[in-house]
Amino acid sequence: MTATRGLEGVVASETSISSIIDDTLTYVGYNIDDLADHASFEEVIYLLWHLKLPNQQELDELKQQLIENMELPQGVIDAFKLYSLQNVHPMAALRTAVSQLGLYDDEADIMEKEANYRKAIRLQAKIPTIVAAFARIRKGLDPVSPRKDLGLAANFLYMLKGKEPDDIEVEAFNKALVLHADHELNASTFTARVCVATLSDIYSGITAAIGALKGPLHGGANEQVMKMLTEIGSADRIEDYLHEKFRNKEKIMGFGHRVYRKGDPRAKHLKKMSEKLTKLTGQPYYYDMSVKIEQIVTSEKGIPANVDFYSASVYHSLGIDHDLFTPIFAVSRVSGWLAHILEQYSNNRIIRPRAEYVGPGMQTYVKIEDR
């Protein structure tokens, strides 16, 4: 038995939800470029969960179900208020809150298909509320209740800032949610599938997935990109900064991908949004710096930008705190995790690979008093 490091190239599951073929990403066969330009996030959620685009009535029903389930149990809000949140990363808070949500759900361990779908609705609806509530409570502000007349993208920005976002903000944020919704067997989705393949519950699967997304090699990279842009500070420092990183063999956050070779098809959409939004907010230098970094990393290292690179300056332009970038990724990706969890349950087999043993050969046990 020989191990494949990082399971590179291993096909670990079948899926009908999304595909990456020749650097093209599709959700259920629809090109991500079309969905990014035309679809609402709710349409994409429906697509991922039902494997077809909704008609108007189906979409309205889903929106209604989501809106009805956005409020949080008071206990989740109270728990946030109990902690001293200054040094708590919002991804840790989200991970804990989602696990806590399971305690309030009478159907948490009911495994019937309909019950699992109802839980999917609750989780998709409540995760944006959790992220926005945490962001406010840690600043000493009261959480803002969701509005019944707003979609998920607008509602999240509204709950975060306490004022209705304008159309440009909603359009940009909706597009970001669509682009991040699913991505075949990425690390967090695989984690979710491994977890529920033991027939554990949905809350456990999503909690595990959030833990995997948190890492800087996966979803955590978008926050690190903003940290890099802030650290560099101005365009004239970019070359020195990058060359030192290259010399030290350090990774440049927001670049590289296990599957894409020519480039991440989501990045161009975020790049366009970054150009527009940084100009609108009077901070075009974040876009200009990003373009220069991309040129150098691509030409000198041959490594293209991934989804996280331009999403950093997009979220910054939307006035979002930098440590909320990865939780926002979760607000979107939970739709994909849930789709994969439902798919896993529908045709389950426990996921139990093997390991190549590289430890010592057979040893003779020695009693502790003789060691």
Beta bridge partners of residue 27, listed in sequence order:
18, 30
Of the residues 102, 205, 256, 336, which one makes contact with ligand ACO according to CB under 6 A: 256
Beta bridge partners of residue 185, listed in sequence order:
183
Q: CB nearer to ligand ACO: give 143 or 327.
A: 327
Q: CB nearer to ligand ACO: give 54 or 256.
A: 256
Binding mask 274-303 for ligand ACO (x = CB under 6 A): ---------------------------x-x
- By the rule CB under 6 A, 244 interacts with ligand ACO: no
Q: Which of residues 202-221 bind ligand ACO (CB under 6 A)?
A: 217-219, 221
- By the rule CB under 6 A, 129 interacts with ligand ACO: no
Measure the CA–CA gap between 260 and 309, rounded to whole angstroms: 15
Beta bridge partners of residue 18, listed in sequence order:
27
Of the residues 307, 331, 338, 339, which one makes contact with ligand ACO according to CB under 6 A: 307
User: Minimum Å distance from CB 118 to ligand ACO?
Assistant: 29
- By the rule CB under 6 A, 102 interacts with ligand ACO: no
- By the rule CB under 6 A, 253 interacts with ligand ACO: yes
Q: Which of residues 352-371 bind ligand ACO (CB under 6 A)?
A: none
Determine which one of 105, 201, 308, 340 is catalytic.
308
Of the residues 257, 269, 316, 340, which one makes contact with ligand ACO according to CB under 6 A: 257
Residues 6+ apart with CB under 8 A from 56: none
User: Minimum Å distance from CB 188 to ligand ACO?
Assistant: 8
- By the rule CB under 6 A, 265 interacts with ligand ACO: no
- By the rule CB under 6 A, 29 interacts with ligand ACO: no
- By the rule CB under 6 A, 261 interacts with ligand ACO: no
- By the rule CB under 6 A, 228 interacts with ligand ACO: no
Q: Cα separations (Å) of 20 from 23, 52, 109, 218, 302?
A: 6, 18, 33, 17, 20
Label residue 107 exposed, middle or buried (CB < 10 Å: 0-12, 13-18, 19+): middle
Residues 6+ apart with CB under 8 A from 22: none
Of the residues 38, 81, 251, 261, which one makes contact with ligand ACO according to CB under 6 A: 251
Measure the CA–CA gap between 225 and 287, rounded to whole angstroms: 12
Measure the CA–CA gap between 68 and 146, rounded to whole angstroms: 10
Determine which one of 257, 269, 316, 340 is catalytic.
257
Residue nearest to ligand ACO as judged by C-beta position: 256
- By the rule CB under 6 A, 118 interacts with ligand ACO: no
Q: Which of residues 167-186 bind ligand ACO (CB under 6 A)?
A: 186
Phi-psi map region of 70: left, alpha, beta (phi>0 left; psi -120 to 50 alpha) = alpha
Measure the CA–CA gap between 229 and 138, rounded to whole angstroms: 25
Of the residues 26, 174, 191, 306, which one makes contact with ligand ACO according to CB under 6 A: 306
User: Minimum Å distance from CB 212 to ligand ACO?
Assistant: 10
Q: CB nearer to ligand ACO: give 184 or 308.
A: 308
Q: Active site includes 243?
A: no
Q: Is the CB of residue 101 less than 8 Å from the CB of residue 76?
A: yes
- By the rule CB under 6 A, 322 interacts with ligand ACO: no
User: Minimum Å distance from CB 11 to ligand ACO?
Assistant: 16
Size of site (CB under 6 A) for ligand ACO = 19
Q: CB nearer to ligand ACO: give 311 or 317.
A: 311
Residues lying near ligand ACO in the complex (CB under 6 A) are found at: 6, 186, 217-219, 221, 251-258, 301, 303, 306-308
Positions marked catalytic: 257, 308
